[in-house]
Chain A
Amino acid sequence: MKKTELPRWATGFALPILNLLSALLVAGLVIHLLGESPSESLHILIDSAILDPEGLGYTLFYASTFIFAGLAVSIAMQAGLFNIGAEGQMYVGGLGLTLAVLAFDAHLPGWLMIPVAMIGAALFGALWSFLPGYLQAKRGSHVVVTTIMFNFIAASLMNYVILKMIPEGQQNPASRVFADSASLPLLNKIFPVFGDTPLNISFLLAIAALVVYGVIVWRSSWGYKLRATGLNTHAAHYAGVRIDRMIIVTMLASGALAGLGAVNSVMGSTHYLSLNFPAGAGFVGIAIALMGRQHPVGIFLSSVLFGALIQGGFDLSLEKPNIPQETFIFIQGLIILFCGAMENFYAPALLKLINLTRTSKEA
């Protein structure tokens, strides 16, 4: 019997790996053209990002932000919405967090301050995604274009707001430094292996968020409606899903998740709000969602991969000046291209191969 569809292990595992390898192959080729050895670079990368415990700490630290960004893009994708605005939502989420901290950090103890700040971050992130969601639902304006616009508006707005926040006598475009009550507990207190890394409890929060995401999307009736909307809007509408409300709520959830991504870097590492702190994490979220196929395990693995690329890439750029950190922005683009836009590039060949092995077995 010939198969016309790929089995689940192929679409869920083999194809993403093949796509990822293609992206890394192109990246390796570019590194080779830059006059460096791809295998040696890979060696340095793995050594500094995975094998070295402190490096691993940093890898997981970056991954914590990326998990939230990946979740934000993923949950929107489940409803068939392409949220490019995670970057802006994270940026504005950082503002909500900072406003909460600046208002209360002198009065509240840490165990109360941190949740309040997180609510601030989620609230502002959701606020920033509300209008694109509303306009998509009610006026049919494409969410891709509006979220791109909102990224730019966020950048300009934050430029303005942060300049207003600079404490007197300071030059650095950043808010004042937070009080100690607003810094996240570090994980090296429990696991001294990680050494002096900013890895903090937001990593655990990110894992929890992954679990909650998985349960809500695949085990709740809302998640069922969400996926139905994404798979076939008309069918979902016919079955009684209120599409406009679905779109708005999904975008709110997406924005809130992106906003929560700000918690890790602002409260876990810098302890103040600075210009352009997301540094592209929102866009990394797009790559992660596509590579991880919006599945919690996939999102986790892709986030760790990107965390390792950032951390290892940093060390690599110190050793090999021809491979600056920006190389990894390029690799990120390649991964989006191969895992996202050309996700089914290898599908026909793989199907042929599977059918071929089947017939040879039967014969």
Chain B
Amino acid sequence: MEDFHIASIVVSMIRNAPVLMFAAMAGLFAERSGVVDIGLEGKILASAFVSASVAYVTQNPWLGILAGVGVSSALAMVQAFVSITQKGNQLVCGIAINIAMSGLTFVLAQFFFHEGGRTPDLREARLFDVTLPGTELLSNIPFIGWLYGHVIGGQSVLVYLAFLLVPVVHWTIYHSRFGLRLRACGENPHAADAAGVSVERTRYLAMLVAGVLCSFSGAYLAIVQSGFFLRDMSAGAGYLALSTLVFGNWRPLHTVLGCLMFGLFGAIQIQLEGVELPVVGSIPGSLVQMIPYVVTVIVLAGLMAKSVAPKAIGKPFVKSR
């Protein structure tokens, strides 16, 4: 049991969560407006690759993040065009983007860097961790020093952005004009249309917001967490983010709790590897890996809580005559 540190679990939970939080907030905007966003995974992957490459070439992580925003928004616009203007099948479109990006990012990484679909290490171009003032001073105080230096402080800017986004998203969805229209389009687009809201415009805007938010998830993966792009490095984060939406009932605060919970599972999985526990013995990592997915299925089955999706989700809006 000595290797089992609560402290490092808490820290790695906070570092795992932003990947899911950005993607989940992105999905929240898209799905609350009535567009299913299965394509989160592909957008994460694309922005991870582009931001890692641009950050490496320019040796500037900020330019990397910016490029990631560009490519992820562009993909979101493709999705919006297909789902909103073309009234195509949104699920199929999302799957298509995921599969296409899984292939294309590898091909391009191989073409530009010749390292087996990996981008070179960013080293100095990685996003630095913020050291809050006074960390030195407090570092000797047992609990507070750790809390201030390693939990509240010592994180990258994107981690702070992820947590700051939560109240902002909550306010936007529930208290802004855009949020009200967004929810109206997701629940009853015909009513929104009758009230003079342009359903198409609102959904396009929501998809654009989703594209921007989702890009941070990929940039965080590549520029902060690993310092390079690796083939299929998102490893299902986009799908997990979707399931946190199911889990959180498409409400920002609850969804974030879901993200933190899945982040916690990820942290525990690394800690549990090869550790002998009392009673059960050693639990294989692959079984711990399963937990978030099994939990999602249980929630979906309505065994824990009833999760209600936005009513008009996945249905293209056809203006009535």
Q: What does the 1/0 interface line of A24-62 toward B look like (CB < 8 Å)?
A: 000000100010000000000000000000000000000
CB distance from A154 to the nearest CB of B (A): 10
B82 within 8 A of A: yes
8 Å CB interface, B98-121 against A: 98-104, 106-107, 110-111, 117
In the complex, the answer to whether B82 meets A342 with C-beta atoms within 8 Å is yes
In the complex, the answer to whether B96 meets A334 with C-beta atoms within 8 Å is yes
8 Å CB interface, B61-102 against A: 82-83, 86, 88-93, 95-102
Stretch from A139-147, A220-228, A252-260, A297-305 forming part of the interface with B: A139-147
Assembly CA distance A319 to B236 (angstroms): 33
Assembly CA distance A30 to B111 (angstroms): 12
Q: With A322-B111, A324-B110 in contact, is A160–B287 under 8 Å at CB?
A: yes
A336 within 8 A of B: yes
B296 within 8 A of A: yes
Assembly CA distance A341 to B99 (angstroms): 13
Q: With A340-B96, A341-B86, A345-B86 in contact, is A149–B106 under 8 Å at CB?
A: no
Residues of A within 8 A of B284 (CB): 160, 163
In the complex, the answer to whether A153 meets B239 with C-beta atoms within 8 Å is no
In the complex, the answer to whether B89 meets A341 with C-beta atoms within 8 Å is yes
In the complex, the answer to whether B86 meets A334 with C-beta atoms within 8 Å is no
A203 within 8 A of B: no
B243 within 8 A of A: yes
Assembly CA distance A290 to B92 (angstroms): 9
Chain B contact-residue range equals 35 or more
8 Å CB interface, A153-173 against B: 153, 156-157, 159-160, 163
In the complex, the answer to whether A135 meets B96 with C-beta atoms within 8 Å is no
B246 within 8 A of A: yes
In this complex, what residue of B is CB-closest to A26? Answer: B100
Assembly CA distance A337 to B98 (angstroms): 10
Q: With A153-B294, A343-B88 in contact, is A333–B300 under 8 Å at CB?
A: no
Assembly CA distance A330 to B100 (angstroms): 4
In this complex, what residue of A is CB-closest to B231? Answer: A326
Assembly CA distance A324 to B101 (angstroms): 14
CB distance from A133 to the nearest CB of B (A): 12
Which secondary structure dominates chain A's binding surface?
A: helix
Per a CB cutoff under 8 Å, which of A140, A326, A340 touches B92?
A340
Per a CB cutoff under 8 Å, which of A330, A331, A341 touches B88?
A341
User: Which of A144, A157, A342: most chain B CB closer than 10 A?
Assistant: A342
Residues of B within 8 A of A156 (CB): 286-287, 289-290, 293
In the complex, the answer to whether A333 meets B243 with C-beta atoms within 8 Å is no
A148 within 8 A of B: yes
Assembly CA distance A145 to B297 (angstroms): 8
B38 within 8 A of A: yes
In this complex, what residue of B is CB-closest to A160? Answer: B286
CB distance from B178 to the nearest CB of A (A): 27
In the complex, the answer to whether B300 meets A135 with C-beta atoms within 8 Å is yes
B242 within 8 A of A: yes
Residues of A within 8 A of B246 (CB): 145
Q: What does the 1/0 interface line of B124-159 toward A look like (CB < 8 Å)?
A: 000000000000000000000000000000000000
User: Which of A82, A149, A156, A327: most chain B CB closer than 10 A?
Assistant: A149
In this complex, what residue of A is CB-closest to B116? Answer: A324
Assembly CA distance A361 to B30 (angstroms): 48
B274 within 8 A of A: no
In the complex, the answer to whether B104 meets A330 with C-beta atoms within 8 Å is yes
In the complex, 18 of the A-B residue pairs with CB atoms within 8 angstroms, ordered by the A residue number, are: A30-B107, A135-B297, A144-B38, A145-B242, A149-B239, A149-B296, A153-B293, A163-B286, A290-B92, A326-B106, A329-B100, A333-B97, A333-B102, A337-B82, A341-B83, A341-B89, A342-B93, A343-B88
Given contacts A146-B297, A287-B99, A342-B86, 6 further A-B contacts (CB under 8 A): A30-B104, A144-B91, A149-B297, A327-B103, A336-B100, A337-B92
List residues of B whose CB falls within 8 A of some A CB: 38, 82-83, 86, 88-93, 95-104, 106-107, 110-111, 117, 236, 239, 242-243, 246, 284, 286-287, 289-290, 293-294, 296-297, 300-302, 309
List residues of A whose CB falls within 8 A of some B CB: 30, 34, 82, 84, 131, 135, 139-142, 144-146, 148-150, 152-153, 156-157, 159-160, 163, 283, 286-287, 290, 322-324, 326-334, 336-337, 340-345
